[in-house]
């Protein structure tokens, strides 16, 4: 192992193993966000959870997912809220609070930006779609 790392291809091998380590850390960050997306958290806390610096986490997370950790959290919140409104037949304000939003108006703005229409209209359209079976 020493000869491999110290030899002519050592720098490349160290880079590969380092990159794979970062990918694994980003994977842990993704899993952590998936379990905690309804809670507020800071990048510093997330970075500490996965053993990275905040700047390194941001850089590598974006390289792997094409979004920042907070954008990823927002996407999970919006998808979960949409599912709650469809399956549990709850209103947008209730769904917003359940997934961690503190402001229903902020939720509605972000929902519209993400899905292309306001929550009530989107849910009504989805319910009217043929072939969509919603089990309550």
State how many domains the chain has.
2
pTM above 0.95, yes or no: no
One digit per residue, the tens of pLDDT, for the chain of length 136 reads 555 566 776 665 455 455 458 899 999 999 999 999 999 999 999 999 999 999 999 999 999 999 999 999 999 999 999 999 999 999 999 999 999 999 999 999 999 999 999 999 999 999 998 776 555 4
Residue 2 lies in a domain: no
- C-alpha 9/C-alpha 4 separation (Å) is 7
Q: Any idea of the CA torsion for 94, 100, 103, 104, to the nearest 10 degrees?
A: -30
Last residue of a domain, one of 28, 50, 66: 66
In this structure, the answer to whether residues 44 and 90 fall within a common structural domain is no
- C-alpha 129/C-alpha 86 separation (Å) is 12
Task: For residue 26, give its domain range.
Answer: 9-66
In this structure, the answer to whether residues 20 and 61 fall within a common structural domain is yes
Residue 101 lies in a domain: yes
In this structure, the answer to whether residues 38 and 82 fall within a common structural domain is no
In this structure, the answer to whether residues 25 and 43 fall within a common structural domain is yes
């Amino acid at each position: 192992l020493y000869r491999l790392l110290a030899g002519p291809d050592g720098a490349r091998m160290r880079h590969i193993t380092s990159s794979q380590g970062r990918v694994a850390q980003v994977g842990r960050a993704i899993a952590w966000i998936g379990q905690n997306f309804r809670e507020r958290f800071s990048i510093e806390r997330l970075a500490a959870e996965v053993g990275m610096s905040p700047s390194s986490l941001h850089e590598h997370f974006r390289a792997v997912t094409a979004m920042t950790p907070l954008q990823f959290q927002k996407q999970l919140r919006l998808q979960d809220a949409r599912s709650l409104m469809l399956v549990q037949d709850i209103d947008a304000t209730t769904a917003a609070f359940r997934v961690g939003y503190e402001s229903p108006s902020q939720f509605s703005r972000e929902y519209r930006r993400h899905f292309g229409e306001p929550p009530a209209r989107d849910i009504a359209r989805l319910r009217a779609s043929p072939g969509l079976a919603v089990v309550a």
